[in-house]
Amino acid sequence: MPSEKVLQDKKEIVAALKEKLNGAAAGVVVDYKGISVANDTKLRKELREAGVEYKVVKNTLLRFAAQDTGLADICSVLDGTTALAISNDDAIAPAKILGKYAEDSKGKFSIKAGFMDGKPMSTDEVMALSKLPGKEQLLCMLLSALNGNIRGLAVALNAIAEKEPA
């Protein structure tokens, strides 16, 4: 039988996981069983640079935490090797990085499930999210569109000014 100390440690881990799940903008649950140490190191570095926390978790502990946060739907995929990636700021970053990595690994590394704004997401939804342009790309597209309209207005006003006699 587990000692009181072990049970207390597990309760603290579940409480910390629950707090992270509640405070996260988004997260992705992955199966990392086919990843090499070199690739894992590279992946962790990329996630860290994007502000995403990535951690191997025990399925039972994550299951307890998820049930208390309204993410009980992800419990059905919690078997085998499991890691959790959480972002508090960028809702797309975990899906984008891990989705690309899962595609590149050809089945050795896979997405199990995800969540965004407290709502569970399927593997297909996480993969669809991973294909969206990032925040910086969207801002560039918006600024480009706005800049094009302003430039067009300036050219039109200039043409009108040149036609009219002074």
Mean pLDDT across 109-117: 89
Only one residue has tokens 């569970």, namely: 120
Is the pLDDT at 156 greater than 90? The verdict is no
What pLDDT sits at residue 166?
A: 54
- Reported as a single tens digit per residue, the pLDDT across 46-101 is 999 999 999 999 998 998 888 878 888 888 888 888 999 999 888 888 999 999 88
Is the pLDDT at 104 greater than 80? The verdict is yes
Residue 74 identity (one-letter amino acid): I
Task: Indicate the DSSP class of residue 164.
Answer: S
CA distance 15 to 64: 9
Tokens of 10: 């597990």
Q: Is 117 left (phi over 0), alpha (psi -120 to 50) or beta?
A: left
